[in-house]
Structure 1
Amino acid sequence: MSSLSYFLSEIRKAARLPERPAPLFAEPGALPSVYAVSDLAAASIAVAGEALADLIAARHGTPAEVAVDRRLASFWFKSSLRPDGWELPPVWDPVAGDYHTGDGWIRLHTNAPHHRRAALSVLGIRDDDTADRTKVAAAVAEWDGAPLEDAVVAAGGCAGEMRSAEAWAAHPQGQAVAAEPLLRHESFAGPDSASWDIVPSQPLAGIRVLDLTRVLAGPTATRFLAGYGADVLRIDPPSDLWSEALEEEMLLGKRSAVLDLRTNDGMERLKELIAGADVMVHGYRSDALAGFGLDAARRRALNPGLVDVALCAYGWSGPWAKRRGFDSIVQMSSGIAETGMRHYKKDRPTPLPVQALDYATGFILAAAALSGLAERVRSGAGSSFRTSLARTAALLEGRFEDPGAPAFAPETAADLAPQVENTHWGPAHRLASPVELSTTPVFWDFPAGPVGTFDPVWRSR
């Protein structure tokens, strides 16, 4: 079975969707990677589109036709926004990245202020303007990888030692992830069958999506839902808890509000939002919402019909189930970066050319949310789905790109959507949508804007 067919089949099964002919345009080429990243991009986006078509069919009986441009799908896995006359800000904190340890390599993720403080404190470096990569490299070199990884994680930070795929397969967490399904699904008795109109031209109009996620997987899912009419309300913490990145990329079509969950008022408002939501997408560690008194049972009590979609970094079982992580860190842990290094005969970790774990997981989450909405239409049941970046890495493991595949043709103006997006930061164009439904154009109500510009309330239906 080809990698493309394998990914389509596995993601469809996980999202509880039927097999159907591959909805793909023939596009020669691939992203430059040892792994079949372009096939993963095309398949994950395709299944999200198929899930939307299935939701339309739940109300109208006949599913829309779905087509995916494999080349554009691959480009969306890198970025979608093309500024006109201005530049995007840096994505990475200056000290984030890969460092040589005494026995290998480790990656430090320091984009969040508290993650940066944790890593630098372990290394004995002041968190001020004098902290730079030279100082960090010298301090990291005094450590072996595993003890430093453990120390940074114990301090509340985020780090990943580079392991081989074989070492990860033998690791207790690698074994735990391998035993988990791509999407774990449960159904719950709901209040009644949903009465949403589901107009094919804007099928998610009036559907409320509560977004409690950070870069990049969860926001990718909710951005997709927003493109078909969903009212996506994103909740962010106060700025002293997090420094946002990629607002220009990920806040398209969403309303963003700030809530301080450390306060009673903030928690009460969040409960009200959960009670009024149709879908909730959240990316907290497995124990975090429970720590706020909002475990799965409590969320279900607040809203029996809720489609509850969750993701984490390292899976929902095993010794690392509560560990912080991001795409680049999971690539180090799971063997992807080490496999790339050996394949390309490099002298340093060689990750995927894009953050494919994030983006693929995001479209898988979108498919899960849409599958849950279709279930609500058909039976009235609420549902929950959960997955992880590490489980998407397991899906990709062993599926390699054809070494003779040519590079894609370079991007041109013809690859851009025609309309100008007047973002908060200046005018821009987006790439054209990589997925097309015969009945349903994609359209985002809001251009990208900064965090915290809306009130934390639902719009009237």
Structure 2
Amino acid sequence: MGRLIDLLPPYPGGQDRNSKTARDALQSLWRGLNMPDESMDYIDLSGGEPVFPSSFAVGTAAQASMGAAALAAAEIWHLRGGTRQRVAIDMLHAAQECRSYFTLDGVEHEIQDKLTGTYRCGDGGWVRIHANFAHHRDGALALLGCPTGPETTRAMVEQALSQRSALEFEQEAADAGLVVAAMRRFADWDHHPQGMAIAGQPALSVTRIGDADPRPLPKYLHDARPLKDVRVLDLTRIIAGPVCGRALAAYGADVMLINSPHLPNIETIAETSRGKLSVHADLETADGRIALANLLRSAHVFVQGYRPGALQSLGFGPQEVANMRPGIVYVSLSAYGDSGPWAQRRGFDSLVQTATGFNHAEAEAAGIKEPKPMPMQILDHASGYLMAFGAQVALTRQATEGGSWHVRVSLAQTARWLRSLGRVSGGLRRPMPPIESYLESSPSGYGQLTAVKHAAQFSLTPARWSRPSVPPGTDPTVWPFS
């Protein structure tokens, strides 16, 4: 692997000549879903690449995806009778918001297990193991013949993998329902059956899945936010889905996070739950399914991050939900898409980066051999904002033409979109900028929460989180009065 970074100009660099600007990227997303061109005259995008140390346009992806979500909220405000307002987003601020940085009572929390990371295998390949959930960690260790207690070290895992093939261990883990990815080059992924299955798909899709009368949103003026009285059911746990719900809450929606009392969460739930109600409902039980069905009767948006088909088996697939609540906007997130041989495979941002070629390409640009991750989980965050964008586009369609709608986003499709934005010359020489000036602090159910302020600035209806972040099960499973 050559030291390609030596061929790049020193920081500050810039995007390569054929790369897309953030406005180009946003306009492509906007027009791709047939949103009105006039709206693009009301968004201000400041800053430029590189904002973080990466050879990829991570700042562009953050700004464009967030811009799409925020501009869609402004469009809904206009649809409800408000005058058009300006939306402004700074690229560095948007990127900082995608770092998942937060502190509780002044303490920064570690969100990664000590065994999570990349390992060299005996055949010279690399795998990434995701061990942030105990059942995933212990399952991977059991496959390797390692003890599952706290005494297990990275060295023990490395020794076990020195006898394994990267691709074979990836498949063995997938067969066991675990989360492991082998590192590939872009060319390898492009010729992989799953890469080919999603190659022709857009970054997100919005399709009509049923008939329903239009439900025009009530007219609101003055200081109401665009999504006032829009009810969102948020059945997600990891970063991308919760970011979608958090954005919709910032724009005024009533977002109810629904957790099973028996499933684990990662610590970022404290940060991504800003603005949300938080309830417990176990969908494996009749009582939990009844509770969800009751909430669904007056919901506008249903967001879920289960593997394709998983909720359908519980009676809450897109068609079942559209039958129960005609006019619903159903938003689905998956790791690798809903078609192809990997459609049922579990995955997280870091694993998708590894499997689809980003870790190899970033390492190649840095002139190193070991896999190199991007500086933040941009696939998660960009996917979350694309979900929020698609949900609001579908809301405008429902309000004007009726129907039930299905929005689909996957981390792998977002990865493909990020590749399309081009590379950033000299980006890896950009030091990680300080984050302190972008932070705000507020009480929460977890302690004093300090996290990044929302980067989208609205001229008439400022985004804000009117509810504090609270632990799962804090609220009753009923919608609040308007």
Place the TM-score, normalised by the shorter chain, in its bin: over 0.9
1:114 aligned residue (135, 138, 144): 135
Q: Are 1:237 and 2:257 an aligned pair?
A: no
Structure 2 vs 1, CA of residues 159 and 102 (structure 1 numbering), >3 Å: closer, same or farther? same
2:400 counterpart residue number? 378
Structure 2 vs 1, CA of residues 176 and 78 (structure 1 numbering), >3 Å: closer, same or farther? same
1:182 aligned residue (186, 192, 203): 203
2:126 aligned residue (98, 105, 109): 105
2:372 counterpart residue number? 350
More displaced stretch, 104-113 vs 335-344: 104-113
1:328 counterpart residue number? 350
Q: Are 1:88 and 2:108 an aligned pair?
A: yes
Structure 2 vs 1, CA of residues 402 and 156 (structure 1 numbering), >3 Å: closer, same or farther? closer
2:57 counterpart residue number? 36
Give 1:17's aligned amino acid.
M
Give 2:332's aligned amino acid.
A
Structure 2 vs 1, CA of residues 105 and 289 (structure 1 numbering), >3 Å: closer, same or farther? same
Q: 1:39 deviation in Å? A: 0.8
2: CA distance, partners of 1:409 / 1:287: 40
Structure 2 vs 1, CA of residues 444 and 349 (structure 1 numbering), >3 Å: closer, same or farther? same
1: CA distance, partners of 2:444 / 2:33: 33
**Which segments of 5 or more consecutive residues in structure 2 lack a partner in the other structure?**
1-17
In the TM superposition, 1:33-432 aligns within 5 A as 33-60=54-81, 62-83=83-104, 85-103=105-123, 104-187=125-208, 188-199=210-221, 201-239=224-262, 241-404=263-426, 407=430, 410-411=433-434, 413-417=436-440, 420-432=441-453
Q: Deviations over 1:84-142 (max 9, x none)?
A: x5313320122111111122100111222322232122112232222222222211221
2: CA distance, partners of 1:460 / 1:341: 52
1:3 aligned residue (12, 20, 26): 20
Q: 1:10 deviation in Å? A: 2.9
Q: Deviations over 1:136-188 (max 9, x none)?
A: 22112211011101111111111100000000000000011112222222123
Q: 1:413 deviation in Å? A: 5.0
2: CA distance, partners of 1:169 / 1:46: 29
Structure 2 vs 1, CA of residues 18 and 318 (structure 1 numbering), >3 Å: closer, same or farther? same
Q: 1:275 deviation in Å? A: 2.6
Give 1:257's aligned amino acid.
V
Give 1:443's aligned amino acid.
R
SS of 2:424's partner is: coil
Structure 2 vs 1, CA of residues 334 and 66 (structure 1 numbering), >3 Å: closer, same or farther? same
The answer to whether the 8 Å contact 1:11/1:364 transfers is: no
Give the number of equivalent residue pairs.
Answer: 457
**Which segments of 5 or more consecutive residues in structure 1 lack a partner in the other structure?**
none
The answer to whether the 8 Å contact 1:247/1:451 transfers is: no
2: CA distance, partners of 1:86 / 1:448: 16
More displaced stretch, 424-433 vs 44-53: 424-433
Q: 1:423 deviation in Å? A: 2.2
1: CA distance, partners of 2:332 / 2:461: 27
SS of 2:232's partner is: strand
Q: Equivalent pairs: percent with the same residue?
A: 34
Give 1:421's aligned amino acid.
S
Q: Deviations over 1:313-342 (max 9, x none)?
A: 001111001110000000001000000111
2: CA distance, partners of 1:198 / 1:132: 58
More displaced stretch, 426-435 vs 118-127: 426-435
Q: 1:280 deviation in Å? A: 0.7
1: CA distance, partners of 2:399 / 2:45: 28
Structure 2 vs 1, CA of residues 38 and 181 (structure 1 numbering), >3 Å: closer, same or farther? same
Q: Structure 1 stretches (4+) deviating beyond 4 angstroms?
A: none
Give 2:27's aligned amino acid.
S
The answer to whether the 8 Å contact 1:114/1:156 transfers is: no
More displaced stretch, 173-182 vs 118-127: 118-127
2: CA distance, partners of 1:28 / 1:150: 37
Q: State the TM-score, normalized to the length of structure 1.
A: 0.94
State the superposition RMSD in angstroms.
2.0
2: CA distance, partners of 1:412 / 1:96: 25
Give 2:234's aligned amino acid.
D
The answer to whether the 8 Å contact 2:181/2:355 transfers is: yes
Structure 2 vs 1, CA of residues 262 and 413 (structure 1 numbering), >3 Å: closer, same or farther? closer
Q: 1:415 deviation in Å? A: 3.0
More displaced stretch, 334-343 vs 133-142: 133-142
The answer to whether the 8 Å contact 2:242/2:273 transfers is: yes
Q: 1:81 deviation in Å? A: 3.1
More displaced stretch, 299-308 vs 88-97: 88-97
2: CA distance, partners of 1:446 / 1:193: 26
2: CA distance, partners of 1:179 / 1:135: 42
SS of 1:166's partner is: helix
More displaced stretch, 283-292 vs 25-34: 25-34
Q: 1:438 deviation in Å? A: 1.4
SS of 2:118's partner is: strand
2: CA distance, partners of 1:427 / 1:408: 29
The answer to whether the 8 Å contact 1:201/1:439 transfers is: no
1: CA distance, partners of 2:96 / 2:459: 22
1: CA distance, partners of 2:450 / 2:207: 39
2:12 counterpart residue number? none
